[in-house]
Structure 1
Amino acid sequence: MKFLTLLRPKHWVKNAFLFIPLFFAGEIFNTSKLLDLAVAFFAFSFIASSIYILNDYRDMEADRQHPVKCKRPLASGTISKPAALALFVICIVAGYTLGSLVGQKFVFVLSTYFVLNLLYCVGLKDISILDILILSTGFVLRVKAGGVAAKLAISEWLVIMVFLLALFMAIAKRRDDILIKMDSGKEMRKAAKGYNLDFLNVMLALVSAVIIVSYLMYTISPETQARFHTYRLYYTTLFVIGGLLRYLQITYVENSTGSPTKILYKDRFIQLTILLWVLSFYVLIYLPTDKTFFE
């Protein structure tokens, strides 16, 4: 169980972004492509877990000062350093073995993700602003990997929206680090020196506004309407705004945005908005126009 905790399988949900290109292409029921994406999902998950292990290995001392991260296997001492390094190697081998089954282009994207996050772990995460940009780029690479695995083109709108959403969550997470620092007086990460509460609050407001405007522009763009054969996609903006407002409420009112993954697993409101957004898109994309609920 302790080794499973070190892999952070709960965070594998982030790799569901690989399936986004297939969903928006209207081919979510293409079993052949779904199988390729399933293999790609686990390849990405193992590589991501190797990064988590390396990050925990390097941050053991800092994590011991954190109210939550101190419970991680390496920080708490429940797993030895040699065992963690062995698992690190196993994850890399498993990830690249599965990735090779998907194809060379996928392996290239996977390698780009691995190298970028490797650099993040060994020093780039200590540079403010660059740290959140790298985290956000990781989600874009997931989407790119999904497109490569499914052999589908990815629109620039999709890349922009994924990047902005990931950036929004990364900023909220940094805000939580600042709150912990204010309460405990302890620096949770070196990059935190480049942030303060006012700066992060402004960034959150700015990015959330850009997300809403960008999404609305995406839904009403002629290119999008032509691709999906409907002009009604702007209806789904309601769920995007609802989800963002709830996340801002968790951030500003509840001051509890340490882990976006944890919020996704536990917050019923956000789960509902995501479900309704997916269902509305499904109805608009996959069902014939004369059978939709939006006539």
Structure 2
Amino acid sequence: MTRAYASQSRVVMTVSGLIKEMRPWQWYKQSVLLLGLVFSKSLFDPIAVTNVAVGIVAFCAIAGTTYIGNDILDVEEDRNHPRKKHRPIASGQVPIPVAAAFAVLLFVGGLALSWYLGPLFLLVVCTYLAQNALYSAFLKEIVIVDVMVIAIGFVLRAIAGVVAIGVYLSPWLVVCTFLGALMLALGKRRHEMVVTDDPAASRSILAEYTEETLDQLLVVVLSALLVSYSLYTFFRSGLWMMSTLPFAFFAAFRYHLLAHTRDLGGDPKYLFGDRPFFANLVVWGLTVIAVLYEVPHQIIGTIT
């Protein structure tokens, strides 16, 4: 009886650990696939919404594969990290062979869904996998390149969202996604520098950075992001889209403030717990949708 209970308990712990390894709290990253859906004005197209939803599930599976693969490769390094040492593989909750087998299942499932969405979507997913493999192999050890590769991963997600519904890929979408993701990646590196006494012990590339350098890079990227988004509103979307600029500036400035005063740069998901940031994000999103779908014009037409 006791032996059977212990066996059942180990299975439950292993399954729980595998779910944690998939980082469900980071699935919000796949929301980048929604950008193409919104900005192509396909938000109310049921076929487009279905395709993007399938694409998000595919990327969750593929991302789970890369998370598990990275944790297997970095198991010794993670055990020296104050937070990562509690991850299921690093802590021993999930045996490495079990984790590897689960990663294979996720990999196959993700590729199957990607193929369902078409060869171009599959190509983007394969590129994402190759990028992650190169990052894990050696790119994460090259200063500056490490954060740029992370940002490119988000660009690939944005491209995947566009490919899934077969619409035009705007260069503004690529540029703004890259700069936004790069800003978050630099904020994360800065957080890792601040929270540990020996940053290089948990991530070797941190030995190449200084806190001052990361602060300067963060300001440069933040400025470039705001200029790029401003130019997008000026030249591509008309006067009404310019009304979203205050929200964009507040979001960037609020992130910069929180990264320096509350150490929220470590994981962007904590930003959603900041009420001013979250409220601004919601209002910004609703305003963008209203402008893109010509709600102001309809209101004016009704009044006149």
Instruction: Output the CA distance in 2 between the equivalents of 1:50 and 1:41.
Output: 14
Deviation at 1:187, TM superposition (A): 2.6
Maintained 8 Å contact 2:192/2:199: no
Query: How far did 1:256 drift?
Result: 3.2
Q: Higher Cα Rg: structure 1 or 2?
A: 2
Residue 4 of structure 2 corresponds to which residue in structure 1? none
The 3-state SS of whatever aligns with 1:257 is helix
CA distance in structure 1 between the aligned counterparts of 2:154 and 2:276, rounded to whole angstroms: 23
Q: What's the counterpart of residue 216 of structure 1? A: 230
User: In percent, how many aligned pairs have the same letter?
Assistant: 34
State the aligned residue count: 286
After superposition, what is the alpha-carbon deviation per residue over 1:264-293, rounded to whole angstroms, capped at 9, x for unaligned?
44222222121111110111111251416x
Instruction: Pick the aligned partner of 1:156 from 171, 188, 191.
Output: 171
Q: Distance in 2 between matches of 1:134 and 1:119?
A: 9
User: Pairwise mapping of residues 1-295 of structure 1 onto structure 2 (< 5 A)?
Assistant: 1-181=16-196, 183-184=197-198, 187-221=201-235, 224-225=236-237, 230-260=238-268, 262-286=269-293, 287=295, 289-291=297-299
CA shift at 1:15, angstroms? 0.9
| Conservation of the 8 A alpha-carbon contact between 2:33 and 2:158 | yes
TM-score normalized with structure 2 length: 0.90
Structure 1 CA distance for aligned equivalents of residues 193 and 272 of structure 2 = 23
SS of equivalent residue, structure 1 residue 67: coil
Give distance in 1, aligned partners of 2:199 and 2:33: 39
The 4+ residue runs of structure 1 with deviation greater than 4 A are none
Cα deviation, 1:68-120, whole Å, max 9, x if unaligned, reads 11111011111001111011101100100111110011000100001110111
Q: What TM-score comes out, normalization by structure 1 length?
A: 0.93
8 Å CA contact retained: 2:179, 2:221:
yes
Shift of 1:192: 1.1
Q: Distance in 2 between matches of 1:207 and 1:126?
A: 21
Query: Once structures 1 and 2 are overlaid, which stretch shifts more, 234-243 or 104-113?
Result: 234-243
Task: State whether residues 17 and 142 of structure 1, in contact with CA within 8 Å, keep that contact through their aligned partners in structure 2.
Answer: yes
Q: Equivalents in 2 of 1:101, 1:191: separation in Å?
A: 38
Would the aligned equivalents of 2:81 and 2:202 in 1 still touch at CA under 8 Å? Answer: yes
Q: CA deviation at 1:131?
A: 0.6
Deviation at 1:185, TM superposition (A): 6.1
Q: CA RMSD in A?
A: 1.7
Where does the alignment leave 5 or more consecutive residues of structure 2 unmatched?
Answer: 1-15
Deviation by residue 1:159-214 (Cα, 9 ceiling, x = unmatched): 10000000000000011111134x34653212112210110010011111111111
Retained in 2: the 8 A contact 1:132–1:170?
yes
Q: Deviation of residue 215 (structure 1)?
A: 1.1
